[in-house]
Structure 1
Amino acid sequence: MTTTAPARPARTRRPASRRGVLVYAVGVLVLSVLGGLVMASSPDPETSAGALLFVMSPILLAVGLRTIGREGWADAGLRLGRERGWYAVALLLFPVLFLVPVALGALLGDVHLAPGAAERFAVLFATGLAARLTFAAFEEFGWRGYLEPRLAALGVPALRRHLAVGALWAVWHVPYIVAFGDGYTGVPLGLQIPMFSVAVLAMAVIWGVARDRTGSVWPAVLGHGMANAVAWPLLSADVLVLDSPLVFGARPESLVVLPLLVLTAVVVYQRWGRTSVGTVPA
């Protein structure tokens, strides 16, 4: 007579918990502040270890909770997903939005092309694209790869979830902005931070809906990376000279872009966010 050993129970992913979300939120904010302090004490904040700690904090917390915390990777959105038209939205949204202030400012005489602007833009865009996409992935693996699906699993309604992610995303940026001071923008920080926060909330709705519709984190990575890859060359004095950066800057929070971005978020949510197909893997 032979006997068989009892089968080992399958390892299962731990269910979503408020504790995991709290650990994530507190963790990214702590690392953000630490990164900002190191940046503020560095002669070159952008290339300091603090900047790397700052930008990597979302993915560090997400990977830690999914591995050490044994939450698993089933809902991380690592596949390309469904409804792939959202990739076109991600690719084109910010190039189109940033074209508006540049064109309008040029018509009104407030935006001036530097000599060789087109060639300089092409070089800066091409050489910076890989890094901008990588840094976007560091962020989005946390915001849309971890926090969005974790809140969804806890039953948080879609719009409230997107805005909660956006609020944390905005606060997380503050130490970085303060560490740069006047080097980040010519706009006073008392005005810059609130306007930027509104822009981040709008972006959180757009990329949150894209995450729901596709089940993938990659549209957010692509859209986030493209926004930065296009904005940084356009903000270079070697490409554009701006008489009124608060109005015509190629930034999500400029006075021309911000209302367009908020309107886009409203339309995206009204059209696609109310009938989301869920943040489950596709």
Structure 2
Amino acid sequence: MSTTAAVPRTRRPVTRRGVTVYAVGVLVLSTLGGLVMASSPDPETSAGALLFIMSPILLAVGLRTIGREGWADAGLRLGRERGWYAVALLLFPVLFAVPLALGALVGDVHLAPGAAERFAVLFATGLVARLTFAAFEEFGWRGYLEPRLAALGVPALRRHLAVGVLWAVWHVPYIVAFGDGYTTLPLAVQIPMFSVAVLAMAVIWGVARDRTGSVWPAVLGHGMANAVAWPLLSADVVVIDTPLLFGVRPESLAVLPLLILTAAVVYRRWGREAAGTVPA
């Protein structure tokens, strides 16, 4: 992981207008989606959930096609520095193993009968959907917003965090709409902790985007995180007595410090070398 891959220049000059339209647009659509979910008896299968999850890619595709911004910097090729694909594949399975192991040692984590088989079934049957939903998001965050901010000359760390802030705020209507179905924690605790986790992930996947010039490591890493986490949140697989501490979530107290440390190491080791990377 030593060669910096510059993000290609778009065919038309990049302006702040496109970035502003994108940011406002995804927040409006996510809010509308959240309102529809909140009024639905089954938020997860409602039209609002579909509008919410598709909003990042809808805005990106709209601006690139209808707005004629072009696809030159979308990062659709596999890119360079293929080692980042291994990072994307393994990062969250390793991070999520930590709370499970620690919780089992202190008697706070209990595997259900047949947990391994049940996990394998849920992981396999949900993997394609999780990767697809991750692509819907990442084609916006790392496929559109990251290279556009880079082309505007925004320094690497600042743009990663800017993407992370929008990414975190975009999630709020979803979290609020689900309420107790999403978390047992008070929203005043859940949302800030989740937002810090999102900022850390934004740095990791932003650096991966810079280093590879590709959106696909972020898609893979994001999808794997969800594909591993969701089965482990099922009581048919594992029961966690103290989810705030040992929850298999990026924002749990056992995972969040490790995630922040990972982001710091990734940026210090690989991100600073790409700090001046702008479209060539």
Give the distance between the partners of 2:231 and 2:113, measured in 1 at CA. 14
The answer as to 2:46 corresponding to 1:60 is no
Give the distance between the partners of 2:81 and 2:278, measured in 1 at CA. 13
**Which among 128, 131, 140 is matched to residue 130 of structure 1?**
128
Give the distance between the partners of 2:164 and 2:56, measured in 1 at CA. 13
User: Residues 97-141 of structure 1, C-alpha deviation per residue, up to 9 Å, x if partnerless?
Assistant: 000000100010000000110000000000000000000000000
- 1:15 — aligned with what? 13
Count matched residues: 270
- 2:85 — aligned with what? 87
Identity %: 89
* Mapped contact 2:245–2:253 kept (Cα < 8 A): yes
Distance change in 2, residues 1:279/1:226 (3 Å): farther
**Which among 122, 137, 140 is matched to residue 139 of structure 1?**
137
* Mapped contact 1:213–1:278 kept (Cα < 8 A): no
Q: Could you tell me which amino acid in structure 1 is paired with residue 186 of structure 2?
A: P
* Mapped contact 1:212–1:279 kept (Cα < 8 A): no
- 1:6 — aligned with what? none
Q: Give unmatched runs, 5+ long, in structure 2.
A: 1-9
Q: Could you tell me which amino acid in structure 2 is paired with residue 109 of structure 1?
A: G
Flag the structure with more relative contact order, 1 or 2, with Cα contacts below 8 A and sequence separation at least 6. Answer: 2
Q: CA deviation at 1:279?
A: 6.1
* Mapped contact 2:153–2:278 kept (Cα < 8 A): no
**Which among 136, 152, 155 is matched to residue 153 of structure 2?**
155
1:57-206 correspondence runs (5 A): 57-206=55-204
1:209-248 correspondence runs (5 A): 209-248=207-246
Q: CA deviation at 1:280?
A: 4.8
- 1:254 — aligned with what? 252
- 2:5 — aligned with what? none
Give the distance between the partners of 2:252 and 2:182, measured in 1 at CA. 14
TM-score by length of 1: 0.94
3-state SS in 1 of match to 2:239: strand
User: Residues 213-245 of structure 1, C-alpha deviation per residue, up to 9 Å, x if partnerless?
Assistant: 000000000000000000000111000001000
Give the distance between the partners of 2:142 and 2:263, measured in 1 at CA. 16
Q: Give unmatched runs, 5+ long, in structure 1.
A: 1-11
* Mapped contact 1:215–1:279 kept (Cα < 8 A): no
Q: Could you tell me which amino acid in structure 1 is paired with residue 96 of structure 2?
A: F
TM-score by length of 2: 0.95
Q: Could you tell me which amino acid in structure 2 is paired with residue 249 of structure 1?
A: G
Q: Could you tell me which amino acid in structure 1 is paired with residue 244 of structure 2?
A: L
Q: CA deviation at 1:188?
A: 1.1
Give the distance between the partners of 1:15 and 1:95, measured in 2 at CA. 40
CA RMSD after TM alignment = 1.1
* Mapped contact 1:211–1:279 kept (Cα < 8 A): no
Q: CA deviation at 1:187?
A: 1.2
3-state SS in 2 of match to 1:75: coil
Q: CA deviation at 1:278?
A: 3.4
